[in-house]
Structure 1
Amino acid sequence: MQSREVPYFSQWESPGMTLPLLAEGPSALHRDPLWRRWAVNVCGMACLKMILAARGEIHPTLELARACTAYGGYVVNEGDGTIKGLIYEPFVRFVRERFGLFAETMTNVDSATVPGLLCKWRYFIASVHPAIRWPEREPPSKGGHLVLVTAASPGEIRFHNPSGHVRQSQADVALPLASFDRFFARRGIAVGF
């Protein structure tokens, strides 16, 4: 039997961290220099990764983040290691030039218009408060995190949440439009092929 070459991808951003993670648990991530710096800033790249995977392309999240940084989508402060972003307009230019995606920054978006928006665009990367993983709670503010809206009707929005903590708050999350609106910052990026 002839063996086929199969590419390997670790589930961690630094494959060398696999054993420490298995031995020590999630606290080992704090020692991972690749993940520590980017962990709270890659929700937009995770959304992009899902969009690209839907058309059959798989890209490492941090590779996407670094490439987007070259376009100005992130600003890295080398002094203290902080990262500012995702900055929408450079991201839009990045996905257009690098992947041939159609994209547009949108502001002042009423959540009731999202179903119509998805008639024209395939996806909407929406700015929501990260507490959307607990939709029964009242968020302290709106925005600060990105989710990938994949479907919407006049009464409901479906999305993938890159930072969901359990299955019900990760993939194909369905929320009533009014619940989603409590977290939604009325801005985002519309994306199509």
Structure 2
Amino acid sequence: MRENTEATVHQVPYYAQWESPELVPDILAGTLQAADDPRWEQSGAPSPEEYAYWSWRICGMACLRMALDHWWGVAPPAVTLAEEARAAGAYVRHPDGRLDGLVYAPFAEYARERWGLAAEVRSPLPAEELPALVAAGRLVMISVHPSIRTLDPHPPRQGGHLVLAVGATPQELVIHNPSGFPDDSQRFVPVPWDELPRFYAGRGIVLGPHERA
């Protein structure tokens, strides 16, 4: 399908959306509460409860941390980024605890204004365009179903979770998954092109470096 794709994999640092990547299976299984993550304070949250609230919702901030570390060598705390993004309109937190977001357009503006990144919202963003974007030095936040971590043969829908496309080969897209499993589906995860469509919602945010002011 993509025989002409040249292999490009950017050496991007990895961050999970929880501070302890090795505990992600236990947190997802419910055998460990997110508030009991021993590294919760590193997130910038004021309390374990606030950390737990955000940790399930900040796949986008984990992707942003990866991009910032890759290009600028900085990785601000995840909840600190989330609160900044919320203030910029990229999240809407309701009194009953519901959270709307990540809202792409205000997030892209925040990434440009706050962090000096090129950030372009693309909807639709055909999978066929991802190899060229990666080859051009871009990283792409794409919306997939979270069960991409196990390549579930029957995900209930597409989208709902953000991962970072860091590479592409003729056989597969290479992603960093903020909610992947350690030693399996977190870092440099190959997703075969013929399996991607059942997870991929066909939209995302293309990130690149701009000179910082």
Q: Secondary structure at the match of 1:41?
A: coil
Identity, % of aligned positions = 40
Cα deviation, residue 32, structure 1: 2.3
CA distance in 2: counterparts of 1:121 and 1:67, whole angstroms: 26
* C-alpha contact (below 8 Å) 1:38/1:83 kept by paired residues: no
* Greater Rg over alpha carbons, structure: 1
- After TM superposition, list the pairs within 5 Å mapping 1:167-186 onto structure 2: 167-186=183-202
> What is the TM-score of this pair, normalised by structure 1?
0.82
Aligned to 1:141: 157
CA distance in 2: counterparts of 1:105 and 1:136, whole angstroms: 27
Unpaired runs of 5+ residues, structure 1, are 1-10, 14-24
Structure 1 stretch displaced more, 84-93 or 128-137: 128-137
Cα deviation, residue 181, structure 1: 1.9
Opposite residue 93 of structure 1, the aligned amino acid is E
Opposite residue 112 of structure 1, the aligned amino acid is E
* C-alpha contact (below 8 Å) 1:133/1:169 kept by paired residues: yes
Unpaired runs of 5+ residues, structure 2, are 1-17, 21-30, 37-46
Cα deviation, residue 189, structure 1: 0.2
Q: Secondary structure at the match of 1:124?
A: strand
Cα deviation, residue 12, structure 1: 4.8
CA distance in 1: counterparts of 2:173 and 2:34, whole angstroms: 35
| 1:70 and 2:76 are equivalent in the alignment | no
| 1:26 and 2:32 are equivalent in the alignment | yes
RCO greater where, 1 or 2, for CA within 8 Å and sep 6 or more? Answer: 2
* C-alpha contact (below 8 Å) 2:111/2:117 kept by paired residues: yes
> What is the TM-score of this pair, normalised by structure 2?
0.75
Aligned to 1:113: 129
RMSD (Å), alpha carbons: 2.1
- After TM superposition, list the pairs within 5 Å mapping 1:141-160 onto structure 2: 141-160=157-176
Q: Secondary structure at the match of 2:187?
A: coil
CA distance in 1: counterparts of 2:93 and 2:59, whole angstroms: 16
Instruction: Tell me how many residue pairs correspond in the alignment.
Output: 172
Please list every run of at least 4 consecutive aligned residues from structure 1 whose deviation after the TM superposition is greater than 3 angstroms. Answer: none
- Give 1 or 2: higher helix fraction: 1
Q: Secondary structure at the match of 2:35?
A: helix
Structure 1 stretch displaced more, 28-37 or 51-60: 28-37
Structure 1 stretch displaced more, 153-162 or 126-135: 153-162
